[in-house]
Amino acid sequence: MKVFAHRGLSSIAPENTMAAFERAIVINVDGIETDVQLSRDGKIVICHDEKVDRTTNGRGYIKDFSWEELQAFDAGSWFSPEFAKARIPGLEDLLNLVRKTDLCLNIELKTDKFFYPQIEEKVLELLEKYDFVDRVRISSFNYESLLKVKAILPQIETAAIMKDPNLVSNFWDQISDLTVKAIHPSYQYVTTELIDEARKRGLEVNAWTPNQPEEIRHLLKIGTHGVITDFPDRAQCIVGA
């Protein structure tokens, strides 16, 4: 089972900052999951939320700030004073860091709330520039975004993030034309039946965000391909045990 660090090593350092990514590299995870949005001036910005409020000392939507304005915010103190110097990274910062390793990246396009003009093109342009196309998987809750990615660059791997199956009855139909490599369900929805069905369709199952040892152990036992967790160190111990 592969171990992905969710938003970097986000249990130890502020999520989606260089500090969190560096720590994930130190413990040698298989991959890093991260989330991207678009600034007002068209820069690919790493942040989980559409707003900066929760994870910085700023207030407002990323889409309303320029890259330079975003750099003024402290993205670490909310987590701990020792990270007061942390800034919101750009995707290029992460690519520059990870290019020195052999890690994989799971880049989640946060396109389910706002329409970010050409975010798919811009992300793929950077991945080509940094020669990352063969070690990245693009995921999203927005399947239109995944279709767009495949239309631009058919060889890139994509993953459909699964919405709550209690609200969506036709999940397999919804993803049938996407040519995804994997599905990414919340760990609560992962069952042996789901894994069997995915396997039949040639798809991997990567579960987010199991953090408790018993959850991770259960996912390993039932044959989950990967976990995307805030505690990759725990998952590594379980996988290696």
- Which residues contribute to the site for ligand G3P (CB under 6 A)? 6, 33, 35, 48, 108, 139, 161, 184, 208, 228
Of 6, 184, 218, 225, catalytic? 6
| Site membership for Mg ion, residue 230 (CB under 5 A) | no
| Site membership for Mg ion, residue 35 (CB under 5 A) | yes
How far apart are alpha carbons 113 and 61 in whole angstroms? Answer: 11
The answer to whether 127 touches 136, Cβ cutoff 8 Å, is yes
How far apart are alpha carbons 228 and 211 in whole angstroms? Answer: 9
Give catalytic status of residue 218 as yes or no.
no
Binding mask 151-190 for Mg ion (x = CB under 5 A): ----------------------------------------
H or E element that contains 5: strand 2-6
| Residue closer to Mg ion, measured from CB, 54 or 199 | 54
Pairing between β-strand 2-6 and β-strand 104-109 as defined by DSSP bridges: unpaired
| Site membership for Mg ion, residue 120 (CB under 5 A) | no
How far apart are alpha carbons 162 and 164 in whole angstroms? Answer: 7
How far apart are alpha carbons 36 and 122 in whole angstroms? Answer: 11
The only residue of 15, 108, 120, 230 in contact with Mg ion, by rule CB under 5 A: 108
CB of 213 to Mg ion, least distance (A): 22
Give catalytic status of residue 6 as yes or no.
yes
Active-site positions read 6, 48
